[in-house]
Amino acid sequence: MKNKYPYTFFTILLVILAMVITACGGSSTEEPAAESGSESEAAKQTDESAAGETASSEAEAITLKFVICCAPEDAVTYNEIFDAWKAAEPQYANVNIELDVTPFAELFPKIETSVAAGADFDLFQADGPDIKHYSYNKVIISLDEYFTEEEKAEFLPQTIEEGSYLGTFMSPAIMQSCSLMFYNSDMTDAAGVQPPQELDGWTIQEAWDAWQATQTDENGDGTPEVWGIRWGQGTWTGDYEQGIIRRSAGEKDSPTYNGMGPDGITFVGYLDTPEAIAGYQAYRDMHFGEKAVTPIESIPDIFFTKQSAFVVHPDNAIGTINRLYPDGDFNYGVTGIPYMEGGTELCHTGSWHYGVSPNSEHKDVAAALVKFITGHDGARIWYDNVRQLPARFDLLNELPEYNEYPQQLFAQGLQEIGQPRIQTPCYTEYQQLHAVLLQDLQSAEELDVAARVHQAASDIESACAKYKGWNE
């Protein structure tokens, strides 16, 4: 018989690591620098300060050490942005940027432990929900003095919420996210299935019929050649997409929908409500039993290689399809993200943010680079390469594709059903323990779902107790 909870050992290690790391930090971020005069004057003074730092070193190059995620090819896009920065703001021509490309799984511990150890890197790329954790532990400095209220208003409200800590702006984003459901229209046509081409889509129970109808096992060996659905991008299991199902089981603003208490540390009675447990049971049933519609072991690129009929994914899937099928021989459509019957449709928001390290010796220059990366021109370069929802109103409004199906649905979804992932300095611990729960749900052969969810809620709450009072 297989182990009922195969990830318990790793859970213990992750919780211990999180507790050790947090011990290095404090309970609040530093106060932003006092401002004098108007906001525009403050921003001008900041620009002059950064320019002065550069000018004073004209004979000697300044090097910024920049920790980024996730693959070497990302460096090509960043270098294009750096070239545009220096062309637009020539006072930074003597600034060299040294990229440290870090895999996603190593990104969080590298940032946290490097700052605690006094490492001299200057800025970093981070997942939006982790910004409050970094802020609590003083791993990131406030950027309030570098952005006027008018400049902050250019960002979507979810971006400001995700990048702020106790009312202080810590980190802007270069893009946003909202996952909806793609489908292979050749497969749906063959099965006589017609998904609604609008944001208000199916419940999970309604979608299940379509997933089963498009799933095929032609040789009868019990393993489909084409699966019904892959819920989530890549092969990773985590809160961003898999955590949506349990929240969607609740009415808006209910404990189930909120997913966490207002204190940011209470999960019992929120993560393990009867409605949430029904959502977790649905996620398990996707993998096990007669109604299984997705493989237990995740298949890389399952949708893009035509091994699943549906996938829940952000809109950067469109760029992937165009790259892999330049002749246009991959026919697809997009519909709303399914939600639990009686609940609420939602997508999780949040994507790449940028922070400046308190250990940087060139904070003003690093902040100037962050402003350009996440400003109109830098974010446009990023979009042209990555093709994912912008975090800025001006870009979202000027890109014509977001006024047409299917990308229009993502812009609409972001603004109408988009909800930040739970906002707490304990997000990192939550993310780790919640991922273990999800892995057990999709792979443990024998499992009491309700008992396992109650255990997870209690474990997460215990891990988060050290943050008590953080938002008081």
Using CA atoms, how far residue 101 sits from 72, 175, 397, in Å, is 6, 19, 32
CA dist 371 and 77 (Å) reads 16
Paired residues of 125 in beta bridges: 354
Backbone angles phi, psi at 206, to 5 degrees: -70, -40
Rg (CA), the chain: 23
Looking at domain 180-345, which of 3.20.20.20, 3.40.720.10, 3.40.190.10, 3.40.50.720 is its CATH number? 3.40.190.10
CATH superfamily of 39-171+352-387: Periplasmic binding protein-like II (3.40.190.10)
Closest CA to 216 of 234, 183, 190: 190
pLDDT tens by residue, the chain, 472 residues = 434 444 343 333 333 333 333 333 333 333 332 233 334 444 444 454 555 554 444 548 999 999 999 888 889 999 999 999 999 999 999 999 999 999 988 998 899 888 878 888 999 999 999 999 999 999 999 999 999 999 999 999 999 999 999 999 999 999 999 999 999 999 999 999 999 999 999 999 999 999 999 999 999 999 999 999 999 999 989 999 999 999 999 999 999 999 999 999 999 999 999 999 999 999 999 999 999 999 999 999 999 999 999 999 999 999 999 999 999 999 999 999 999 999 999 999 999 999 999 999 999 999 999 999 999 999 999 999 999 999 999 999 999 999 999 999 999 999 999 999 999 999 999 999 999 999 999 999 999 999 999 999 999 999 999 999 999 9
CA dist 357 and 351 (Å) reads 19
Residues 6+ apart with CB under 8 A from 191: 210, 213, 214, 309
The model's pTM: 0.86
Per DSSP bridges, beta strands 308-313 and 180-184 are antiparallel
Residue type, 246: R
Tokens standing for residue 302 = 């399952």
- Three-class secondary structure of residue 123 per DSSP: strand
Instruction: Enumerate the domain spans of the chain.
Output: 39-171+352-387, 180-345
Residue type, 376: H
Residues 6+ apart with CB under 8 A from 19: 463, 466
Per DSSP bridges, beta strands 95-101 and 332-335 are unpaired
Identify the DSSP state of 182.
E
The reply to whether 180-345 shares the fold of 39-171+352-387 is yes
CA dist 172 and 152 (Å) reads 8
Chain centroid to Cα 97, Å, comes to 25
